[in-house]
Structure 1
Amino acid sequence: MTMTLLFWILLISAIMSISTSSFFSLWICLEINMMVFIPMMNSKNMMASNSMLYYFISQSLASTIFIFSIMLNLTFPMMFPLNLLLLSSSILIKLGAAPFHIWFPEVMEGLKMEMVLILMTIQKIIPLYILSFMNNFIMILSAIFSAMIGGFGGWSQNSIRKILAFSSITHIAWLISLIISSNNWWYLYLSIYSLIVISLLFFFSKNKMSLINQISISTSPFLQILFILTILSLGGLPPFVGFFLKILSIKLILYSTPMLLLFLIPSSLLNLFFYIRLMYPFLMKMLSKNYIFLNLKKISIIGPLHLTLLLTLIPML
């Protein structure tokens, strides 16, 4: 009951934030969002406690810089470039974008899959909305760094949570690039990305997987196929919705800051490498056995996975 109440407060604070343009109101929503999420992270293990502490310190630092930059701007308006730099940096810290990303994978590692989902989706809404009011050089640098670190950071990881964290950093680079393009396309990008992530995390949570070597080939064949299709969509391969999302994003970014595509596209290709690592056990099993005939009567699937499959077909209709 308590978790449900906290979740609704979290969601309402995120929705309220996109209905205001006052930086003070946005700051209030940010703080409510942070203070509600921290008790939701609580769990009966040491890693969760460490994640809570790490999250609190990083978010408190970002909030301090945020309110300090606003006060500094009110007191010394002639220092606007510096104030904007501080303001942007504080939001990038909250977002977990590079080069302020250090806390993000570490916090993700200690969370339950449900909290990982919230951190990768709902917790991005307010920072991205605030960034949509800005357009400065540090955002371009952050998009470049996020693309590079997100692409290379997941290569040597065995933890599923850390792989998802670096994947998320890459998608943050795409979202920031769309914001720089002075376009509201990032709303749709985040929405579809969230649906894909829901499907993936449902699979990992249902099968209690935390490491790559725990990916079970005993999972039902239909779930395995859905998992592979979802991963391919997240990787942006045709004919899935992730591919059409990337193509339209590339088109928009090409008109404003084409230089960013030199980092975004290779980064997405690098991400495919560790996505394939996640699929590898299932792919090997499918190559070794006949998976054409599936006993669908014994299979139970939850809505998000159905929804992801339907979304993959929308651009083809």
Structure 2
Amino acid sequence: MSKFNKKKVFLIMMLMSTLMVMSSSKWLSIWMGMEINMMTTIPFLFKNKSKELSQKIMIYFLIQAMGSIIMLTMILIKNFNWNMSLINILMTLSMMIKLGTPPFHPWMPEMFNKMNWDIMFVMITLQKINPLIVTSQLSEQNKILTIIMITSATVGSISGINQLSLNKIMAFSSINHMAWMLMCMLTKNELWMKYFIIYSIITATLCVMFHKNLIFYTNQLNINSNNPSKIKMLLMMLNLGGLPPLPGFFLKWMTVEAMMTSGYFLIMTIMIFSSMVTLMFYMRMMYTSMMLSSMTLKFKLMDSSKYFYSMIMVNIIMPIMILI
């Protein structure tokens, strides 16, 4: 069996384990689905034999195993009818370890550094579905989520400012967006699914663009100056940052509206300011390559590949269909 076919098999098993978690009604079966998901992810990550990749996979395995042990322990303790609020808090913290939200985040940017963009996309989107589903079931009257949201919004925005690696920037961007998804859970529990779907579409488009142009660092955005899809890349960056009138803005608008209805005014202010910081470093990444003084081809909106044009249309039309 070729490497490509093996990769497809593990990806299908990953998706099947996610469906298992989504359809399970028992905590133990949810835990089992998450373990299957973790064990199928490790061969998916192992593309070639290298010391650096082996170290990253070992870090990923240990972190995920730690979260799974805490979750399994809390599931077993539930049967003894102990303090249920404390059990819910500890189960939530185990999911935060798996998601890589602050203060459990240092492993994630380092692991994602220099990672291939196709694997990167799977790690920051598909691998977050299972912990988010569990967290949404624990979100009612969960006091710890507000603290995690504030730390995720601030750390995700401030830590991404001085980064040169696009992988790390996308990782910190994921941490910042995680705060918005958690807020959606606290206010309107079904809203986080819409947010996650649209965030995944935008991230997929960016990862495909970076993968096609072999871009891993911010200075490479300038080196690849003959790339006619720079306008599209800028559009996706602004979309991810939530600049109006792009679909990413409507997501944050709906979340802010839900926060105002629920009375989370202080957290709303912090998250809006953190979103402005993330938008700043998105724009700074594309600023030099879009300067008019640079002798590059910038305003050719369509290139020979219709694939990218269709992806841009999906990013504009698909979110509107989901949000209606």
State the TM-score, normalizing by the size of structure 2.
0.90
Q: CA deviation at 1:171?
A: 0.3
Cα distance, 1:103 vs structure 2: 1.3
Aligned partner (choices 191, 194, 199) of residue 188 of structure 1: 194
Residues 296 and 254 (structure 1), Cα distance of their counterparts in 2 relative to 1, 3 Å cut: closer
Of 220, 230, 233, the residue aligned with 2:227 is 220
> Which amino acid is 1:50 matched to?
Q
Which residue in the other structure is 1:249 paired with? 255
The answer to whether the 8 A contact 2:70-2:94 is kept is: yes
DSSP-derived class of the 2:291 partner: helix
What does residue 164 of structure 2 align with? Answer: 158
Aligned to 1:272: 279
What are structure 1's unaligned runs of at least 5 residues?
A: none
Alignment partner of 1:86 out of 76, 85, 90: 90
CA distance in structure 2 between the partners assigned to 1:247 and 1:13 by the alignment: 33
Letter in 1 for 2:250: F
Report how far residue 200 of structure 1 moved. 0.4
The answer to whether the 8 A contact 1:121-1:194 is kept is yes
Output aligned runs, 1:44-63, within 5 Å: 44=48, 45-63=50-68
- Deviations along 1:257-314, whole A, 9 cap, x unmatched? 333212211111010121012212331157766855x384634434433412444777
> What is the distance in 1 between the residues matched to 2:235 and 2:134?
33
Does 190-199 or 125-134 show the bigger shift?
A: 125-134
Gap change, CA 1:266 and 1:255, over 3 Å in 2: same
Match for residue 11 of structure 1? Answer: 15
Alpha carbons of 1:219 and 1:245: their partners in 2 closer, same or farther (altered >3 Å)?
Answer: farther
By how many angstroms is 1:10 displaced? 0.6
Deviations 1:10-64 (A, max 9, x none): 1121122212232111111110111111111113333322210110010000000
Opposite residue 277 of structure 1, the aligned amino acid is: R
SS of the residue 1:283 aligns to: coil
Whole-angstrom distance in 1 between the partners of 2:22 and 2:72:
19
**TM-score, length of structure 1 as denominator length:** 0.92
Match in the other structure for 2:130: 126
- Quick check: 1:228–1:279 contact (8 Å CA) kept in 2? yes
Q: Where does residue 182 of structure 2 map in the other structure?
A: 176
Match of 2:290 in 1: 283
Percentage identity across aligned positions? 32
- For residues 189 and 286 of structure 1, do their structure 2 counterparts lie closer, same or farther at Cα, with a shift above 3 Å needed? farther
Let me know the Cα RMSD of the aligned residues. 2.3
Residue segments in structure 2 that go unaligned for 5+ positions in a row? none
Give the residue type in structure 2 aligned to 1:244. F
Aligned to 2:75: 70
